[in-house]
Amino acid sequence: MSKTTRFWVLTVSLTIICGVLFLTCCKKNDPVVPSTEDSSSFVMLPEAVPDAILEIRYYGTYNFVGDRIDGYEEPTAMLTKQAAQALKAVSDDVIRQGYRLKVYDAYRPQKGVDHFVRWAADIEDTKMKPYFYPDLDKSVLFEQEYIMEKSGHTRGSTVDLTLFDMATEKELDMGGTFDWFGPESHPDFCGNPETGEYTGDNRKSPAGRSITEQQFANRMILRRAMLAHGFKPLDTEWWHFTLKDEPFPDTYFTFPISSPTK
């Protein structure tokens, strides 16, 4: 083989190797997660689902942090147009059953998630521990994924909610508060959410807590309505649902929660 031939063989080989390494690195780092301030694909929840009651916990101080969360500039909620349309169908469904939706949180700006992360890193701040995580040491919140650097809420098609009973004019008793950190919040706590069967099995509760058959049944009313209209559940929170065909599965939005006139 001539020197010229060896040179070109070596050049082509190096080019192929570099190309493979480049593709490998790109694959490893994918997907690229974009963020954007563009709110044009969102709607205000009170306009899209007028029958829903809003109790935006992160605008106030009754939440696991104990302060208003960054990015919550008004006590309102926003969702992508597709998620809001699906939630309107859920609202119409539960109204026929004698209930209204009560929303705690929907779209969450990335700056709100960043606020949670800063709070979780401050191990000494435990003022809300008795109300939301009495069975946990705050140091395990990252490890057990109660707090993460990214949230599905920031993609705009996730909602946290419960049911309001129009007959009693009270929230339906779900046997536990929104944002309780523990297995008692899991949809399969004391029952099988796939069949709706109550089992009473509370062995996962570190403090021996339980919920009643009626409380489990109430959780299932909400779950069935959400799943029937295109939402999927989370296996650790009975109140949390995401639109199955969410329009922005890889985008994390950064605009604050406020009305369009602001």
Indicate if 237 belongs to the active site: yes
Active-site residue, selected from the candidate residues 74, 197, 237, 246: 237
Q: Residue 63 has what DSSP assignment?
A: S
Q: How many Å separate Cα 52 from the centre of its chain?
A: 18
HSE, CB side, 13 Å, CA atoms: give it for residue 10: 7
Helices (H) and strands (E) in the chain, counts: 6, 12
CB 43 within 8 A of CB 259: no
Integer Cα distance of 60 and 38 in angstroms? 25
HSE, CB side, 13 Å, CA atoms: give it for residue 248: 26
Which token pair is 126? Answer: 């435990």
Active site members: 237
